């Protein structure tokens, strides 16, 4: 069982990390945000220029840069050579007077949950109310972020804000669209942080050996190699790769991983 768990962990480690700057998933029409793709690159492929694939839904975008500016709503993903497709980021674009902005990244129990109610192109919002599942939870005289210092699972739900703006005279109360927020269990936080740290580490180098504990029963003796698995050789340690160069083969178990459009960088 531990072998399967480790293989699944390695598969996750190889995913690029897609980030959003600024970190809000809803913007006003005409605004732009920056998407950045940070990923793991196999050692041999690092000898060549690294390019990135970008997807909007199932559409392959023309850019191959590490970061791009976007303003079109939809689901974005990225992919680096030798890695599977990243987790998605959903970008929404609004034409309303008022939007509620929440962070794109997962929020875990014990972490702060921050959201902001924003007026059209940063107009000041007065008589500002924040709502959680239809119930008012906080009032501000004018524009301010709403923060839950230590989020709990019970803070999950649908949030909304309302307020007035002077355009040029004070308007009637206006409401934002409702936004779903999920606070995840604290037990997942450490695993996710580990994945994020490991995915940014330098690739394993040729000639290093993988040590694994002895195992018994079915599935025993599988040696883990980043991106693949192999039956072990004797003695108990095994080199990651036989040699470098153009003839290097990552071994059995490395599979082609197509992107949303059916294209990808994965080795076969």
Domain-located, residue 220: no
Domain-located, residue 50: yes
Lowest-pLDDT choice from 11-15, 82-86, 169-173, 222-226: 222-226
Domain-located, residue 235: no
In this prediction the pTM is 0.64
Domain-located, residue 110: yes
Instruction: Look up the domain containing 142 and give its range.
Output: 96-184
Domain-located, residue 256: no
Q: How far is CA 203 from the centre of its chain?
A: 20
Cis amide linkage into residue 21, ω under 30° from 0: no
For 36-78, the pLDDT digits (tens) are 999 765 544 455 556 899 999 999 999 999 999 999 999 999 9
Of 13, 37, 39, 36, which Cα lies nearest the Cα of 191? 13
Q: What is the CATH number of the domain that holds 24?
A: 2.60.40.10
Domain-located, residue 246: no
For 8-38, the pLDDT digits (tens) are 545 445 789 999 999 999 999 999 999 999 9
Domain-located, residue 148: yes
The total domain count for the chain is: 2
In order, the DSSP letters of 217-250 are STTTTPEEETTEEEPPPSSS-EES-S--STT---
Cα 170 to Cα 172: distance, rounded to the nearest angstrom: 7
- Cβ-count burial 79-116 (b if 16+ within 10 Å, e if not): bbbbbbbbebbebebbeebbbbbbbbeebbbebebbbb
Same domain, 102 and 167: yes
Domain-located, residue 222: no
């Amino acid at each position: 069982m531990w072998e399967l768990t480790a293989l699944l962990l390695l598969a996750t480690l190889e995913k690029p990390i897609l980030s959003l700057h600024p970190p809000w998933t809803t913007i006003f029409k005409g605004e732009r945000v920056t998407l950045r793709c940070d990923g793991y690159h196999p050692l041999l492929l690092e000898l060549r220029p690294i390019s990135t694939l970008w997807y909007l839904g199932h559409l392959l975008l023309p850019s191959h840069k590490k970061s791009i500016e976007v303003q079109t709503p939809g689901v974005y993903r990225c992919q680096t050579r030798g890695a599977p497709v990243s987790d998605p980021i959903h970008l929404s674009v609004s034409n309303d007077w008022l939007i509620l902005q929440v962070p794109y990244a997962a929020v875990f129990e014990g972490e702060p949950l921050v959201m902001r109610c924003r007026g059209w192109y940063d107009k000041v919002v007065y008589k500002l109310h924040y709502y959680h599942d239809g119930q008012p939870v906080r009032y501000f005289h004018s524009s301010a972020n709403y923060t839950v210092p230590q989020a709990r699972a019970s803070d999950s739900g649908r949030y909304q804000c309302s307020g007035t703006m002077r355009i040029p005279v004070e308007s009637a109360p206006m409401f934002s669209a409702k936004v779903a927020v999920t606070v995840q269990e604290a037990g997942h936080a450490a695993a996710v942080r580990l994945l994020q740290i490991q995915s940014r580490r330098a690739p394993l180098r040729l000639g290093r050996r993988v040590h694994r504990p002895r195992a018994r029963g079915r599935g025993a003796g599988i040696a883990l190699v980043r991106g693949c698995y192999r039956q072990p050789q004797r003695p108990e340690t095994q080199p990651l790769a036989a040699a470098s160069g153009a003839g290097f083969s990552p071994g059995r178990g490395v599979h082609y991983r197509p992107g949303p459009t059916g294209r990808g960088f994965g080795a076969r």
